[in-house]
Structure 1
Amino acid sequence: MLQTQNLSVAYGKQTIIQDLSLNIPRGKITALVGPNGCGKSTLLKTLVRINKPSSGEVLFEGKAISSYQDKSLARSLSLLPQILVSPEGITVRKLVEYGRSPYLSHWGRLNQEDKKIVEQAMLDTGVAEFADKPVESLSGGQRQRAWIAMVMAQDTDIVMLDEPTTYLDMSHQVELMNLMRQMNDNGKTVVVVLHDLNQACRYCDHLIVLAQGALVTQGSPEEVFTESLLNDVFDLKAKVFSDPVSGTPMCVAV
């Protein structure tokens, strides 16, 4: 569905991703994990064509991603970036409506189906009650849900989230991870950058582990989450146990 072939990406003279070949599995939640600066966010931006490869390519449905028209690609792939800046005074409803942009006609007007999708996205994320409030008036967790609603309104097959739990307290992190699972249950393929390894194991089906811009390993949490991996990749001495709630692997530093 979405794959890279010998992908390299550089910022100026600094190579961030080097000769990376991997497949994003369809219909699953995939977590990109790895030390700071390993290229996780750079990879996400390259997958949606924000970054241009220095060599290699990204393929979507077997075709080079560079061959797709902007609107066509935006109907298939969506990205919620790490840094979110909304125009001053914009309401939640208007923000969520932006998610329908790839589907609008030349006149840029929402039809009844568009409006229905926007309303449903706000209901699913619990922000419908704030629809007419400015985004900047909301709490951090509410704002994050509003942005998630915008991505849900875009209604793409693949949804990418770059560190969506950053700056959220534990309760809102769990809320957001459950929203991510809900999107997957509704048929979306989800790719997410996470720093919390235990969260990645609990909520994600597939892990892609990166280090210094290269693929270390990938597979299910049960296959790849080991004490030796934590030591070698994260320089973390830890014990791996079974999560008493989910049964998935979890680590405790020693």
Structure 2
Amino acid sequence: MTGDPTETAVPTPTDDPVLSIDDLSVTLGETDVLDGVSLEVERGELVGLVGPNGAGKTTLLRTARGTLSPDSGQVRVAGDPVADLPARAVGRRVATVPQDTSLSFAFSVREIVAMGRTPHVPRFSAMDEADHAAVERAMERTEVTEFAERPVPAVSGGERSRVLLARALAQDTPLLLLDEPTASLDPNHRLRTFETVAELAGEGRAAIAAIHDLDTAARYCDRIVVVADGGIVADGPPESVLTGSTVGHAFDVDAVVTPDPVTERPRVTALPDVEPADDAPEIPPVDRVHVVAGGGRAGPLLTRLDRAGLEATVGPLSAGDSDAAVADALGMSTLEVGALDGVDDATLDRLRTLVERADAVVVADVDLTAGLAPVLSAVADSGTPAYCIEERPTNERTVAEAAAAAYRRLRVGEAGVAASTPELLDVLA
């Protein structure tokens, strides 16, 4: 096929970044959305663009595509200023998956996907065998072949998202821009979409995706770029970017970041603001607490205790428990036991030492399993003030008779106080 000779051909690989944004500023109305933003994306990278609503993620993608002109700065795609390229040439370099999946006309799914080939087909010509093959590959890869002949208005919002991704894949560009591409997808197809995009990056394309879910961004992206306050506040591998302080600054939220036990990537847990309780219990001031945790129930509690400036020890916890990961991330000393070892006499001795050193013991809203019975008995026998966090009724917990009896003894003893996390933290803070 021979295209218009005035149009720039599809670029061959060079040493230039696929996307280069230099000192970009964009004002919409009277709002400075982006101010002095610079960013480069290389071949083989999947870059996650994260930030609060209104931070400018979509504006940045629109400017990179050339559909929005910046007030200052420059965008280059494969070495050439995007503003200098004809529209069809841009279409051979940049494909976009929009957030909005609405389509006005009753084209079939196949016809929509085939539109991705438009920049490659000469004017007044039809698609050839290679174009049709590209469409078929894109539909197979995004799992939309089974409803290829249906009109687009007849498929669901999630299916339309996959159709638009297929159209972008059929476009066969070195740069892929995605704006919240999985917002309407079920969890299965959300993961498959990012696996597909990650595979494309692994094959040598560059992709930059605005992503709402920080855990998804951490799992699939090579780099994460955090956009807030009109600029880039962090840029790097997920492990270095997704920290409690960075997430807190960008999203104005209290957060704890721990390693995901399955993916070993960062996992972000945002914590709600704690409102002071009107009827907080009488609790003497404490500086050091020991926390009985387990089963992943104590992460927010541990983080709140850390934010309150308290020194805390935690345990006993089975190796691999996510509460142990949170404690480790917060620098708290943890009493750990093997996953199959249980609580033996040596562990109970170490527990008693930690409890005696503490001003108070906090029992998280944990399941009352049989293995917890000797732990609760040791705490009850210590005489150290104990505060039982009760955010679930007992009938919603896993309860073993021996542990329930030890818990009741601790709960109603002279040293025992029942409280919710907000009540406890209101007094401790």
CA distance in 1, matches of 2:82, 2:22: 12
Q: Is 1:180 aligned to residue 204 of structure 2?
A: no
> Please, which moves more after superposition, 229-238 or 217-226?
229-238
Partner SS for 1:165: coil
- 1:151 aligned partner: 168
CA distance in 2, matches of 1:56, 1:33: 21
User: Shift in Å at residue 63 of structure 1?
Assistant: 2.8
Contact 1:4 1:22 in 2 (8 A): yes
Structure with the larger RCO, 1 or 2 (CA within 8 Å, 6+ apart): 1
Contact 1:26 1:189 in 2 (8 A): yes
User: Shift in Å at residue 59 of structure 1?
Assistant: 1.9
CA distance in 2, matches of 1:131, 1:60: 32
CA distance in 2, matches of 1:87, 1:183: 29
User: Shift in Å at residue 132 of structure 1?
Assistant: 0.7
- 1:88 aligned partner: 105
Contact 1:4 1:58 in 2 (8 A): yes
Q: Deviations over 1:107-146 (max 9, x none)?
A: 1411111011111111111111111111121223222111
CA distance in 1, matches of 2:168, 2:203: 14
Contact 1:33 1:195 in 2 (8 A): yes
Aligned pair count reads: 254
Q: Deviations over 1:11-36 (max 9, x none)?
A: 12322111111212331100111111
Structure 1 unaligned regions, length at least 5: none
What amino acid maps onto 1:220 in structure 2? P
CA distance in 2, matches of 1:235, 1:13: 23
Contact 2:161 2:184 in 1 (8 A): no
Partner SS for 1:244: coil
Contact 2:96 2:168 in 1 (8 A): yes
Q: Is 1:203 aligned to residue 192 of structure 2?
A: no
CA distance in 1, matches of 2:197, 2:24: 27
Partner SS for 1:88: coil
Q: Is 1:38 aligned to residue 60 of structure 2?
A: no
Contact 1:34 1:211 in 2 (8 A): yes
User: Shift in Å at residue 85 of structure 1?
Assistant: 2.6
> Please, which moves more after superposition, 39-48 or 144-153?
144-153
Scaled by the length of structure 2, the TM-score of the pair is 0.57
- 1:236 aligned partner: 253
Task: Choose from 126, 140, 151 the match for 2:143.
Answer: 126
Contact 1:5 1:56 in 2 (8 A): yes
Partner SS for 2:217: helix
CA distance in 2, matches of 1:143, 1:214: 32
Equivalences for residues 63-78 of structure 1 within 5 A: 63-78=80-95
Task: Choose from 151, 170, 183 the match for 1:166.
Answer: 183
Contact 1:101 1:108 in 2 (8 A): no
Instruction: State the structure with more CA Rg.
Output: 2
Task: Choose from 26, 29, 45 the match for 2:43.
Answer: 26
Partner SS for 1:45: helix
Q: Deviations over 1:232-253 (max 9, x none)?
A: 1112222211111211111123
Scaled by the length of structure 1, the TM-score of the pair is 0.95
CA distance in 2, matches of 1:124, 1:3: 28
CA distance in 1, matches of 2:165, 2:46: 16
Partner SS for 1:23: strand
Structure 2 unaligned regions, length at least 5: 1-16, 271-299, 301-429
CA distance in 2, matches of 1:157, 1:25: 10
Q: Deviations over 1:32-71 (max 9, x none)?
A: 1111111000000000101001111112233322122222
User: Shift in Å at residue 79 of structure 1?
Assistant: 1.0
CA distance in 1, matches of 2:165, 2:184: 15
Task: Choose from 54, 65, 84 the match for 1:48.
Answer: 65
CA distance in 1, matches of 2:76, 2:142: 31
Contact 1:100 1:114 in 2 (8 A): yes
- 2:235 aligned partner: 218
CA distance in 2, matches of 1:195, 1:4: 22
User: Shift in Å at residue 202 of structure 1?
Assistant: 0.4
- 2:122 aligned partner: 105
Partner SS for 2:114: helix
The alignment's C-alpha RMSD in Å is 1.4
Q: How high is the sequence identity, in percent, across the aligned residues? A: 37
Q: Deviations over 1:73-103 (max 9, x none)?
A: 2111111111123233210100001000001
What amino acid maps onto 1:61 in structure 2? A
CA distance in 1, matches of 2:123, 2:104: 23
Distance 1:240 1:43, change over 3 A: same
